[in-house]
Amino acid sequence: MIKVIAFDADDTLWVNEPFFREAEEEFASLMEVFMPRHSIIKEVYQTEIDNLDKYGYGIKGFILSMIQTALRISDHKIPVTFIDKILQIGYDMMEKPVELLPGVEDVLDYLKDDFRLVMATKGDLVDQEKKLKKSGLDHYFHHIEIMSEKKNADFAKLIRHLDVEPEEFVMMGNSLKSDILPVLELGGHAIHIPFHTTWEYERIEYEVAHDNFYQAKHIAEVVSMIRLM
Amino acid sequence: MIKVIAFDADDTLWVNEPFFREAEEEFASLMEVFMPRHSIIKEVYQTEIDNLDKYGYGIKGFILSMIQTALRISDHKIPVTFIDKILQIGYDMMEKPVELLPGVEDVLDYLKDDFRLVMATKGDLVDQEKKLKKSGLDHYFHHIEIMSEKKNADFAKLIRHLDVEPEEFVMMGNSLKSDILPVLELGGHAIHIPFHTTWEYERIEYEVAHDNFYQAKHIAEVVSMIRLM
């Protein structure tokens, strides 16, 4: 019954969120003469959220949000060389190797002949294309969708574009908010594969209960789950 | 014979490059105590080009390139408040209204029933989606492709994705380098509609001569050109 299997990328196929957390820690180390570390991290998070409409997701927007936060929380008392250090934190993030999560390649290889595999990821076009290239996973995917948002309308458009019915579509990912709930609401199937670190913005507090909802501890479990759908 | 008509967006459907030129002039005004204006503009251009691999096209990368240039050409002598001013130049660019070029909507309206219309634009996902939304042109397009590059391989992928042959595809745009040459090389048709301002990076020096190449002074001319293909 399932025709298309869509995979989130960051923290589903490869490690991502920990690099942002590391970068925040470096930023906190730079700025801790002005404020306690946990407050710095709160401030930069708030700036990021406030800037989402303007900058979207991704490293460039994150760098700009760190710069803006540094100016604000220091009351413009930072030396201008701090700006270089913040730019450097961003460059370092872009240069990180892509670290595939365990089992990912086996699962893609196992499923690729029986289903159309799609990568559906939120983020910056340049960041995500670079990671995909570094990952070596490109050839498994029939279609790559880099989305500025993952809301109901975005998934509805993707499913229409793939020319399948929602019930023929399954999405898997680590974010209940972005990967799971919108797809369930549209009548699709969704598999949640939690990752140890979730960005605060993606966290939701309630339990999901739905006939089309599945929970996996590890990506390897999806192989048998999909056969049951 | 033509099935798909693809339109470049920036400076083909709406005004874009002049906003970047204006922003450069504002940046030059901010920095001119350190260097003559024309040198500042050269420096920021060089930084942008050097950063293309890292940042791609779009406003966020341009802001980061202005910041990096300001630090370098002032030898870190700028007051930190200059950074706010540079961020502000970027925000102002994002807030610009979208100004459609004359005739655009009439042409789209005229062609929409007989052809599949596609928008194929290079740039940042957030920037381009915002402009498309502000433009009100969204409903004319069967497909929107926001590309990180417009090289042969990118167009080959788009044409394959649209499930047409190259000779059934026509691309129109203001950049010979990005909109015209790759499509001609693939066997497609291309219409060049020059815009009064071309970003230096997009300029090429030679004349194009090719059976599938057309030159229009105004977008309204494409309506009759397409009937001849």
Which residues lie below 8 Å from residue A115, measured CB to CB, with a gap of 6+? A2, A3, A4, A5, A226
Question: What is the predicted pLDDT for the residue at B17?
Answer: 95
Nearest chain B alpha carbon to A149: B126
Question: What is the predicted pLDDT for the residue at B126?
Answer: 93
Residues of chain B with C-beta less than 8 angstroms from the C-beta of A89 = none
Coil vs helix vs strand at A3: coil
* Relative orientation angle of helices B81-95 and B59-73, to the nearest 10 degrees: 160
Min Cα separation B123/chain A (Å): 9
Question: What is the predicted pLDDT for the residue at A25?
Answer: 98
CATH homologous superfamily of B17-95: Putative phosphatase; domain 2 (1.10.150.240)
Rounded Cα distance, A34 and A32, in Å: 5
Of the candidates A78, A80, A125, the beta carbon closest to that of B71 is on: A80
Q: What CATH number does the domain located at B4-15+98-228 have?
A: 3.40.50.1000
> Do A8 and A38 contact (CB within 8 A), yes or no?
no
* pLDDT higher than threshold 90 for residue B199: no
Of the candidates B63, B68, B126, the beta carbon closest to that of A148 is on: B126
Nearest chain A alpha carbon to B93: A54
Of the candidates B55, B80, B126, the beta carbon closest to that of A80 is on: B80
Nearest chain B alpha carbon to A79: B80
CA proximity to A140, closest of A100, A110, A161:
A110
Whole-angstrom CA distances from A156 to A128, A153, A182 are 21, 5, 9
Torsion sign over Cα B205, B209, B210, B211 = positive
Question: What is the predicted pLDDT for the residue at A30?
Answer: 98
Q: Which CATH number, 3.30.1490.20, 3.90.1150.10, 3.40.50.1000, 3.40.1010.10, labels domain A4-14+98-228? A: 3.40.50.1000
Average pLDDT over every residue of B11-32:
97
Number of CB atoms found within 10 A of residue B85's CB: 17
ipTM exceeding 0.90? yes
Which residues lie below 8 Å from residue B212, measured CB to CB, with a gap of 6+? B167, B184, B187, B188, B189, B190, B229
Q: What is the 3-state secondary structure (H, E, C) of B177-203?
A: HHHHHHHHHCCCEEEECCCCCCCHHHC
Mean pLDDT of chain B: 95
Average pLDDT over every residue of B62-66:
98
Mutate to test the interface with A, among B48, B128, B148, B151 (most CBs of A within 10 A): B148
Strand pairing partners for B190? B171, B213
Average pLDDT over every residue of A118-140:
96
Average pLDDT over every residue of B202-225:
90
Per-window interface: B 51-90 vs A, CB < 8 A: 54-56, 60-61, 63-64, 67-68, 71, 76-81, 83-84, 87, 90
Residues of chain B with C-beta less than 8 angstroms from the C-beta of A63 = 64
The secondary structure of chain B as a DSSP string is: ---EEEE--BTTTB--HHHHHHHHHHHHHHHTTTS-HHHHHHHHHHHHHHHHHHH-SSHHHHHHHHHHHHHHHTTT-S-THHHHHHHHHHHHHHHPPP-BPTTHHHHHHHHTTTSEEEEEEES-HHHHHHHHHHHT-GGG-SEEEEES--SHHHHHHHHHHTT--GGGEEEEES-IIIIIHHHHHTT-EEEE---S---GGG---SPP--TTEEE-SSGGGHHHHHHH-
> Among residues of chain A, what percentage have pLDDT more than 70?
100
Number of CB atoms found within 10 A of residue A224's CB: 9
> Looking at A4-18, A192-206, B108-122, B151-165, which range is the least confident one?
A192-206
The domain ranges of chain A are 4-14+98-228, 17-95
Question: What is the predicted pLDDT for the residue at B156?
Answer: 97
Query: Measured over all CA atoms, what is the biggest interatomic distance in chain B, rounded to whole angstroms?
Result: 61
**CB-CB under 8 Å, A148 with B129:** yes
Rounded Cα distance, B23 and B25, in Å: 5
Q: What is the pTM of this model?
A: 0.94
**CB-CB under 8 Å, B91 with A54:** yes
Min Cα separation B53/chain A (Å): 8
* pLDDT higher than threshold 90 for residue B202: no
**CB-CB under 8 Å, A56 with B125:** yes
Mutate to test the interface with B, among A81, A125, A133, A160 (most CBs of B within 10 A): A125
Min Cα separation B217/chain A (Å): 32
> Do B201 and B173 contact (CB within 8 A), yes or no?
no
Question: What is the predicted pLDDT for the residue at B189?
Answer: 98
Mean pLDDT of chain A: 95
Question: What is the predicted pLDDT for the residue at A95?
Answer: 95
Residues of chain A with C-beta less than 8 angstroms from the C-beta of B73 = none
